[in-house]
Structure 1
Amino acid sequence: MTAPLPLAGVRVLDLSRVLAGPLCAQVLGDFGAEVIKVEHPKRGDDTRDWGLRVGKTETAYFNSMNRNKRSVTLDLATAEGQQLARELARQCDVVVQNFKYGGAEKMGLGYEQVKALRPDVVYCSVSGYDRHGPEASRPGYDLVIQGEAGLMALNGEPTQPPLKFGVAAVDMFTGMYAAQGILAALFDRQRTGRGRHVEMALFDCGLMVSAYYGLEALLMQKDPPRYGNAHPSIVPYGVFDAQDGPLIIAVGNNAQFERFCTDVIERPDIAADERYRTNVVRGQNRDTLVPELLRELRARPRALLLQRLAAAGIPCGEVLGLLEALTSQRAQDAGLVTQQPHPVAGQTHVMAPPYRLDGERLPVRRAPPVLGEATSEILGELAGVDAGRLAALKQQGVV
């Protein structure tokens, strides 16, 4: 980008692993922060061993949450590793950690301990459950939280058992919420000079994901029905089968419904039926309406329906496979998938940040790092570790 990135000059110490914490730090890196990711010298982040391998130390899973970072290896089970981490924290504006409850404190890296070194630090703790509640020490896992937060109960078709989201949605929402909290704290620090402790719990964020479903459950005092690909409040809205394949139709208001009936499926009588005149009554009578619409849609080819829907100003689209979506002209035009150089694989795919500022997409400044690629450089710059001491630390397994 031609202008400096918004977080240029901000330094982040990423002590987290797996997904929520690393995603939070990646967002800060996308906006220009220098992100130092601390990992175990041998194992690295757990996700370096999850899924499909890229090179020797990365996987597609790891790469999805760790662009725009530098990797430093430290064994935080050792006193020297902990001391070096504290020295790095002292020189960082932000610290992100998701150790088990009390784990950071045992290593001398808890909020109060880091605050004593850097009074204006913005420190983010990511945990499974409320750190001020009776379940503070419980570990948090996305799948467990999806069940406990009621998300699996609202997902999928009504005839199916409870179903998790295809991706780790609670982890991802928590990471994004955590980044928002850190950005707010950094903004406040600009005004007051004061640091903050941002605390995020997966369960809290998982409950927020329930959104309007959650509020409807409270209103009804029972679980809302599951609608699968349909919408609980809007009809017709979802995935429908045309003559030659599925398509998505999202009729958002009554005017669109009238055009849908008249111009798309050529059934103005349906639009005129009192049972279907408004969205509220369409929702109440979906059991008779939807089968009628399906008969009309299945009698027409998908391309014709998409053409008519677009001409009528009704939101619509194809149902693509994931590879189709990633390699689509739409994704290419937007620059959402990049190829980055890799020291072993030659090149590797890296998603671009989803943000645009002043018309420009935020860049992939650094490909996801090889394990420990910046250890000597960063420890030399920030902790004063010379070549002789670095060699000794390597021999001891600290780095």
Structure 2
Amino acid sequence: MAALNGIRVLDFGHFIAGPLAAQLLADNGAEVIRIDRPGARDEPRDAYLQRSKRRLALDLKDPRDARTARELSDTADVVIENFRSGVLDRLGFSADSLRESNPALVYASIPGFAAADRRAQIPGWEGVIAAATGNCRVRAGEAPAEWDMTVPTYPSLPLASNFAAILTATAIVGALVDRMSTGVGSRIEVPLFDATFELIGGAGAYSARRGYRAEDPLIANGSGTYECADGHYVQFNPIGATMRFLTWFLDAADRSSWIAEGFGVSSSYVDDPGLAAVLRARLTDLFLTRAAQEWEDLGRTAGVPLCRIRTADEWRETEHARVSGQVVEMDGTWQAGSPIHLSATPTVAPRAAVAEDRAIQFSSPPNPDRGIRGKPLRETRVVDLTQILAGPSAGRMLAEYGADVIKINAPQRPVEAHGVVNRGKSSILLDLQRSDGQALLWELIQQADVLTQNFPEGTAESYGFGYRHVHARHPGLVYVSVSCFGYHGPWSRGRGYEVQGQAVTGIMERTGRGGRPAVLGPYNPLDYGTGAMAALAAVLGIFHATRTGDGQHVSTSLAHVGTFHQATMLVPGADAAAEVAGRGALGLSELQRFYRASDGWFFLGVSESQRDALERAIGGVPNDALFASRPAAEWVDTLVEAGMGAHAVVRLPELFDDPYVFSSGLRLEQESNEIGTVTMPGPVVTVNGERLAPGSVANAPGSDARAVLASIGREDELARLETAWVVQSEALPRGWPAGT
């Protein structure tokens, strides 16, 4: 039985974010009733967005249809809408009015901009949000040599909508968990603008002392995109705490002699700054000696992050994508599958939406499981073993929902982005290769409700705390796994990072189309998207465990999320309308694109039905010459006053000085004991009018060792454990990068 069996969702959404959030719930067993506008025609992407839903066409301005919709809302557990703030209120479907007759209702809004934002009435087109959040730049180091970095690039993926959908689905399931103990629903708001701050992540983190620092190109240890003998490309990313991946690769490629020249020793690059360029030149020549597939096979055998760059169509054809369920067959075509895998509550097999379903049953209002003793996240303990960005971000999100998260890292190792992704957690440095360290871990697990890990498949098992080991001793625990390619299928043991996930699923090819494949920028959509998806999987597991007492194994991966981000484009027939790929893409059409004004760039977002009104407002047909005649701010004011979507392109440093960002909590400032005041993106979800709590500042990794040991009655053993090299509590590694 799926996790959300028995939950009814009313989907008032349109375009992507609302229907996508509802579809994530439908995948997990919810009965989703889609309310269509009468006469609305399906587009190709609706084969994905509306699948597994029941559908009903209702005109909310018609009293009879409005009454039907109201009666349905009285029987619903969840209502989802993504209109501009106030639109449904004016039609009599405000959160307050619906919850007055159905107090158990969870009401989720996904507007473009928050009701409290001065831009609340600006249509939240994807390009408008991209301009407003700076998500329209080429990633550092990925542009052609002649590229003008002041020119924006239209995002090839609907990232604001996708992130908002994941975060909304997570908040809804969290509210359902909370409802079990309170009997009362919640009011959730996740604007597209706000949701993008989850995508920004560490790119928006900096110290007040130094200020914003632009990101560096992805070139460490020879990382990069390389052309191969057959004209195809590979993505090689041998990063990490040590040089092991580069060493393993050189051994496998019969270039061990390079190690003797210093290429496999990190200190060599400090002593000779020019060595990095020499390594890249040599790798460029080396990769030209074999076909891309040969290099991928070699990399997978050697255990290094190296893979062939594919198109989305090529990814859809791979055995791994199909066996792992990342793409599924429906009505004779292959499309994106579920982005998460749950062992005890599997996602439902996708099916075509019912074109018109008048057989929907009207029943009494939902009666939450008041008899079951609830366990909201504020009473949930999480043991977090994950590293880098994706896994730790999931734990940080669970902490924002009130979970007590204990973060475990290895001693004597740098902890990437600790200050950002481990905010709100208790941190301890524990050596899990030592028996005493494993014994401490088991004590922590016995008190936990959730465990998160992102080791390659087989590694946790080799330590003795794989899922089957943990489940045998603690059957009620939710075990969350995060990986690059997924825990099922022939690539399950493969290693990789953000760029490998982008490379295999077609994102890099789409981003660089018309030239060399390129990493999608400027932020990390797979790392932070996978973190959000893992949090959703965890909360689904918690919901099921709260209902039944049973734990399970839930998982997701960078590749799953890479597929998810392109899901509306993978449906046959959808590509033609969505192809704006490439670094030179400015938009979908003359009505949806970036334009250069006299002093900078702005995005215009207008529907075809507004064309005449647009031409009256601007005094002509939209074109480059016309818009170059006035400053961007003037054009934006003119367009917004006329009811159009428009926004000037905002750079990241400006974004964090925005009045709404500053006052609403999207800009979070905390005091670190390492570097003083730090700025970073804050929580993005609002529940019952309050933004989720960010949690305490993440001080140096390992700062909470004594408190963590005290939680299992072992505080007095800290000195002994440190002497035995099991725990590290002094001379701690940095939680912020050097130079921050």
- The answer to whether the superposition gives a TM-score over 0.5 is yes
Q: How much has 1:64 moved relative to structure 2? A: 2.2
Counterparts of 1:237-252 in structure 2, within 5 Å, are: 237-251=592-606
Q: How much has 1:258 moved relative to structure 2? A: 1.8
Alignment partners' CA distance in 2, 1:15 and 1:354: 24
Counterparts of 1:1-399 in structure 2, within 5 Å, are: 6-45=376-415, 47=416, 61-155=417-511, 159-165=514-520, 166-216=522-572, 224=579, 226=581, 228-232=584-588, 235-251=590-606, 253-264=607-618, 266-267=619-620, 270=621, 293-382=623-712, 384-387=713-716, 389-399=717-727
Moved more, 166-175 or 70-79: 166-175
Q: SS state of the match for residue 136, structure 1?
A: coil
Alignment partners' CA distance in 2, 1:68 and 1:236: 43
What amino acid does structure 1 have at the position aligned with 2:725?
G
Q: Write the deviation string for residues 358-378 of structure 1: whole angstroms up to 9, x where unpaired.
A: 111112221123211111221
Q: SS state of the match for residue 419, structure 2?
A: helix
Moved more, 331-340 or 99-108: 331-340
Q: How much has 1:172 moved relative to structure 2? A: 1.3
Distance 1:218-1:293 versus aligned 2 partners, 3 A rule: closer
Alignment partners' CA distance in 1, 2:454 and 2:633: 48
Q: How much has 1:257 moved relative to structure 2? A: 2.0
Q: Write the deviation string for residues 114-148 of structure 1: whole angstroms up to 9, x where unpaired.
A: 11221100010111123221111111211111111
Q: Write the deviation string for residues 339-389 of structure 1: whole angstroms up to 9, x where unpaired.
A: 21222323222432111111111122211232111112211222x3242x3
Q: Write the deviation string for residues 148-177 of structure 1: whole angstroms up to 9, x where unpaired.
A: 110012225x55422212222111111111
Alignment partners' CA distance in 2, 1:6 and 1:69: 17
Alignment partners' CA distance in 2, 1:219 and 1:339: 42
What amino acid does structure 1 have at the position aligned with 2:714?
V
Distance 1:342-1:242 versus aligned 2 partners, 3 A rule: same
What amino acid does structure 1 have at the position aligned with 2:633?
A
Q: How much has 1:307 moved relative to structure 2? A: 1.7
Q: Write the deviation string for residues 306-349 of structure 1: whole angstroms up to 9, x where unpaired.
A: 12101111111111111011122221122212221222323222
Identity over aligned residues, as a percent?
Answer: 30
Distance 1:339-1:376 versus aligned 2 partners, 3 A rule: same
What amino acid does structure 2 have at the position aligned with 1:246?
W
Q: What is the TM-score of this pair, normalised by structure 2? A: 0.46
Counterpart of 2:297? none
Alignment partners' CA distance in 2, 1:347 and 1:303: 32
Contact 2:544 2:550 survives alignment (8 Å): yes
Alignment partners' CA distance in 2, 1:224 and 1:346: 45
Return the structure number with greater helix share: 1
Distance 1:217-1:126 versus aligned 2 partners, 3 A rule: farther
Distance 1:312-1:386 versus aligned 2 partners, 3 A rule: closer
Structure 2: gaps of 5 or more residues = 1-177, 183-374, 728-740
What amino acid does structure 1 have at the position aligned with 2:628?
R
Contact 2:399 2:405 survives alignment (8 Å): yes
What amino acid does structure 2 have at the position aligned with 1:208?
F
Alignment partners' CA distance in 1, 2:692 and 2:580: 40
Counterpart of 1:283? none
Alignment partners' CA distance in 1, 2:632 and 2:681: 30
Alignment partners' CA distance in 2, 1:366 and 1:261: 51
What amino acid does structure 2 have at the position aligned with 1:19?
L
Q: SS state of the match for residue 126, structure 1?
A: strand
Distance 1:293-1:85 versus aligned 2 partners, 3 A rule: same
Alignment partners' CA distance in 2, 1:94 and 1:116: 15
Contact 1:23 1:172 survives alignment (8 Å): yes
Alignment partners' CA distance in 1, 2:396 and 2:531: 9
Q: How much has 1:395 moved relative to structure 2? A: 0.7
Structure 1: gaps of 5 or more residues = 48-60, 271-291
Alignment partners' CA distance in 1, 2:469 and 2:557: 21
Contact 1:217 1:224 survives alignment (8 Å): no
Following superposition, which runs of at least 4 residues in structure 1 exceed 6 angstroms of deviation?
217-220
Q: What is the TM-score of this pair, normalised by structure 1? A: 0.83
Alignment partners' CA distance in 2, 1:358 and 1:181: 23
Q: How much has 1:217 moved relative to structure 2? A: 6.9
